[in-house]
Amino acid sequence: MLVFDASTLILIAKMEALDSFLAGMEFEVAIPLEVERECRAVKKSLDALMIQKALDESRIKVVVVKNKRLVSKLQGDFGLGRGEAESIALALFKKARVVGIDDKNGINACKLLGIAFTTAIGILVRMREKELLTVNEAIVKLAALGKHGRYKQSILEDAKRKLEATA
């Protein structure tokens, strides 16, 4: 199972790669209820509509996180928002393979808790490696991530080098 945080899922949708990403997935994709709410906050945005379509088609499953104490503890211990905390709690409960998370505090929590994680850029690079995208398509999508995400220039440059190396 891959569990998404809202920011990473929204970024994948904003770079218009959600459909091809989900088509290439070999295991279940899930989000907690709070992440669903956060992703649909701006109902008419293209990314919200793309995510809603994936939910409607059951390509992304919504799971209720019942352990509210764990969610609260994660929020307090790591300074996480509710969506990030629910994503990590869900990953722990379901023993997820990986968490898609771009939040720095969330990444640190995953590192400390021994949870495998990836970012929107990591997903983009992996999509290119699996040849779901051409190099040119991947670079265009990386530019979209640069526009919508909060990445340091050095991270974007490193990602571009990785994308070009797969040519």
Q: Is 4 helix (H, G, I), strand (E, B) or coil?
A: strand
Which residues, in sequence order, are bridge partners of residue 100? 4, 118
pLDDT computed for residue 19 by the predictor: 93
21 pLDDT more than 80:
yes
pLDDT in tens, 32-56: 999 999 998 877 889 999 999 999 9
26 pLDDT more than 90:
no
pTM (two decimals): 0.93
pLDDT in tens, 69-93: 999 999 999 999 999 999 999 999 9
DSSP H stretches of helix in 15-152: 18-23, 33-39, 46-56, 68-78, 82-94, 104-113, 120-129, 135-148
Element (H, E) at 13: helix 6-14
Burial-class residue 139 by CB neighbours within 10 Å (0-12, 13-18, 19+): middle
167 pLDDT more than 70:
no
Delineate the domains of the chain, giving CATH numbers in brackets: 2-120 (3.40.50.1010)
